[in-house]
Amino acid sequence: MASIKENLERVRERISRAAERSGRRPEEVLLVAVSKMVPVERIQEGIAAGLSILGENRVQEAKEKIQALGHAGASWHLVGHLQTNKVKDAIALFDLIQSVDRLSLAEELDRRARAAGKRVDVLAQINVAAEATKTGFAPDELRSALETLARLEGLRVRGLMAIPPEPQEPEDSRPYFKTMRTLLETARGWWIPSLDLDALSMGMSADFEIAIEEGATIVRVGTAIFGPRPA
Ligand SMILES: *Cc1c(COP(=O)(O)O)cnc(C)c1O
């Protein structure tokens, strides 16, 4: 099995090539290493190899890891569904909550952030393929959702995030990524005050190069860095 360092080098090279192919600079793409189910020692190995942002999908798991590793080496993003009763912990743990998928969650985040004297950075998650199994705002409710989010002073909305259906081939994801890019540009054009929409989080191990070609500014890569997760 290749080491995390070798995997990371390969992923970074692929990011660079995808960026260059599409006339972008590799530095425009933030790599979030998704470390769910990866033990602390391997995450540590990843940090030593140069990982600076880790992504987790469960608050409790992230809490244990962050307690073990500290905030010094890396920053942490939440990329999974957040239950309302875990909001307080999430605000304390994460530098970016990528998975704000409903208004009630946004309101609770706002309330808790203001109580903590903070402003929390978030992305609005979009259910881009209207999948019954996934949460997120529907594209046609995004405008009113963003108008509501913009009024919440405890939040700072930085952009959009999506998890399209699992692709058979990387190219299968391209239409969804195109939709997301268009949606972000459309949302910027609404000029909603106090929103700062520059992030587009899309692309995982199977399709991050296509995502970059279509404008991703954040890719979330797990398996290609840490190897397969236990089933
Ligand atoms: C697990 C996960 C990833 C990473 O998936 P890989 O296929 O291992 O790269 C990215 N985003 C989210 C939201 C995830 O849950």
Euclidean distance between CA atoms 231 and 160, whole angstroms:
29
Q: What percent of the chain has pLDDT over 90?
A: 95
> Is the whole model's pTM more than 0.75, yes or no?
yes
**In degrees rounded to 5, what are phi and psi of residue 85?**
-75, 0
* pLDDT exceeds cutoff 80 at 124: yes
**Pocket residues for ligand 1 (CB within 6 Å)?**
34, 36, 57, 79-80, 163, 204-206, 220-224
Which residues, 6 or more positions from 206, have their beta carbon under 8 angstroms from its beta carbon?
166, 167, 170, 173
Side chain identity at 144, as an amino acid letter? S
**187-218: per-residue pLDDT in tens?**
999 999 989 899 999 999 999 999 999 999 99
Distance 34 CA to ligand 1 centre (A): 6
Burial of 219 (0-12, 13-18, 19+ CB in 10 A): buried
Q: Which domains does the chain have, with CATH numbers?
A: 4-221 (3.20.20.10)
Confidence of residue 9 (pLDDT cuts 50, 70, 90): very high
* The dihedral sign for the CA sequence 186, 188, 191, 196: positive
Instruction: Tell which atom from ligand 1 comes closest to the C-alpha of 57.
Output: 15
